[in-house]
Chains A and B, each alone.
Chain A
Amino acid sequence: DAKTTQPNSMESNEEEPVHLPCNHSTISGTDYIHWYRQLPSQGPEYVIHGLTSNVNNRMASLAIAEDRKSSTLILHRATLRDAAVYYCIRGGYGGSQGNLIFGKGTKLSVKP
Chain B
Amino acid sequence: NAGVTQTPKFRVLKTGQSMTLLCAQDMNHEYMYWYRQDPGMGLRLIHYSVGEGTTAKGEVPDGYNVSRLKKQNFLLGLESAAPSQTSVYFCASSYSVSNPQSNFGPGTRLTVL
Contact = CB atoms under 8 A, between A and B. Distances in A.
Interface of A: 2, 32, 34, 36, 41-46, 49, 87, 91, 93-94, 97-105
Interface centre among B90, B98, B100, B105 (most CB of A within 10 A): B100
Would you call the interface of chain B mostly helix, strand, loop, or mixed?
A: strand
Interface residues of B, number: 29
Contact of B102 (A2, A93, A94, A100): A100
Given A97-B31, A97-B97, A44 B58 contact: no
Interface in B93-109: 94, 96-98, 100-107
Given A34-B100, A43-B104, A97-B31, 5 more contacts: A44-B92, A87-B42, A99-B45, A101-B59, A102-B44
B42 A102 contact: yes
A99 B105 contact: no
24 contacts: A41-B107, A42-B107, A43-B4, A43-B92, A43-B106, A44-B90, A44-B92, A45-B104, A46-B102, A46-B103, A87-B42, A94-B97, A98-B31, A98-B50, A99-B33, A99-B48, A100-B33, A100-B45, A100-B102, A101-B45, A102-B35, A103-B42, A104-B41, A105-B42
